Amino acid sequence: MVDALGVAVVGFGWMGRVHTQAYARVRHHYPLLPLRPEPVAVADEVPGRAEEAAARFGFASATRDWREVAADPRVGAVSVTAPNFLHREIGVAMAEAGKHLWIEKPVGLTAADARAVADAVAASGVRSAVGFNYRNAPAVEAARELIAAGGIGTVTHVRIRLFSDYAAHPEAALTWRFQRERGGSGVLGDLASHGADLAWFLLGDIAALTADTAVFVPERAHPAAATAGHARAAGGPPGPVENEDYVSCLLRFACGARGVLEACRVSVGEQNAYGFEVHGTRGAVFWDFRRMNELGVSRGTAYQDQPVSTVYVGPGHGEFGAFQPGAANAMGYDDLKVVEAYRFLRSVAEGAPYGATLTDAVRAATVLDAMARSARDGTWVSVDPVA
């Protein structure tokens, strides 16, 4: 028997649309999922946006006030895709109202915000999911298994990079993303949060780090109207960029490995250049999001001049088989969010965690807070482990 689960989306920019489409597709790819998500409510404070989303995607009701979603008995699960400064208030309220929670990273402005939402989820007994979608790529899961099995020997060092140009244009609008009070950190929360999650997912806890940050575009124009995504605002009144465009960070892992994590939102010539290189005593593994379904793998006993082979992931890797029948048939970004939706709904159905949860959000946010302290003070900072 398949039970219906009323779902709602709070905040309907690009990511709200991605979540909505993932709910719509999830049972196409996972027909045995014992829950059928039904679009019950959508909320967005921008006039007309929620109504447009309801008409396009079939939500039964639309509102500008997310509190109406929290009070709606039809809603069993909520996606929170609103701006960062709203995550804590909305996330805590939804958990306290007994709604299962799928919330986008970084879950608030600080580790304290993420922990408050995690505590509310734990106290209410609802299930949670967090938008660390890159760990859902079958190639990333294959890399993790290879590393854990000792396939490249003992890991010595890793490089994680997240470069993009979404804020490179000097006319990019001064949205909430660039304001400390509303966006919190800049590229730390937006991109380096994914890097922190991938670092833990692949190698375990980070023990200590030292970081440096910079703002390369110090001033932008205020938008004249509501924005979605990365809009431009030429000619508007200027204002200061209050959070970082760039971060570089040296990492010391609890396992003894060393690492570099680097992220930038103003990298001209780079579009979603996300990936990692993990080196060990007997090999290496490489992944690039732009070639999401491939791994570069070097294994053997040559050590010097050892070749790298390209491995195309297939139905035996992660969730690949739910989307494609054979290796080298490509999956895409939105598919990763379908995987995320499936794991979230499976956790609701079975009462057990699957995929990234609020615990992972707290762990990543703790790393980001340590980066911010290190950049401010110019020192190495110890990172407390999160159970």
Predicted local confidence at residue 223, as pLDDT: 81
Residues 158 and 276: beta-carbon distance below 8 Å: yes
Predicted local confidence at residue 236, as pLDDT: 76
Q: Which residue has the higher pLDDT, 170 or 262?
A: 262
- CB proximity list for 92: less than 8 A, separation 6 or greater: 116, 117, 120
The whole-number average pLDDT for the span 291-306 is 96
Pair of tokens at residue 99: 């709604």
> Looking at the predicted structure, is the pLDDT value of residue 375 above 80?
yes
Query: Sheet containing 206-214: which strands, arranged edge to edge?
Result: 309-312, 294-299, 283-288, 273-280, 155-163, 258-264, 246-253, 206-214, 381-382
The whole-number average pLDDT for the span 256-285 is 98
Q: What is the pTM of this model?
A: 0.95
Angstrom distance (rounded) from CA 199 to CA 212: 18
The whole-number average pLDDT for the span 40-52 is 97
Q: Tell me the HSE value of 282 on the side-chain side, using a 13 A CA sphere.
A: 11
- The pLDDT tens digits of the residues spanning 7-36 come to 999 999 999 999 999 999 999 999 999 999
- Number of CB atoms found within 10 A of residue 269's CB: 8
Sign of CA dihedral 121, 124, 125, 127: negative
Q: Token match 């689960």: residue?
A: 5
Task: Please provide the DSSP assignment of 353-385 as one string.
Answer: --S--HHHHHHHHHHHHHHHHHHHHTS-EE---
Angstrom distance (rounded) from CA 133 to CA 211: 24
Q: Which domains does the chain have, with CATH numbers?
A: 3-133 (3.40.50.720), 134-330+357-382 (3.30.360.10)
Q: Which residue has the higher pLDDT, 184 or 82?
A: 82
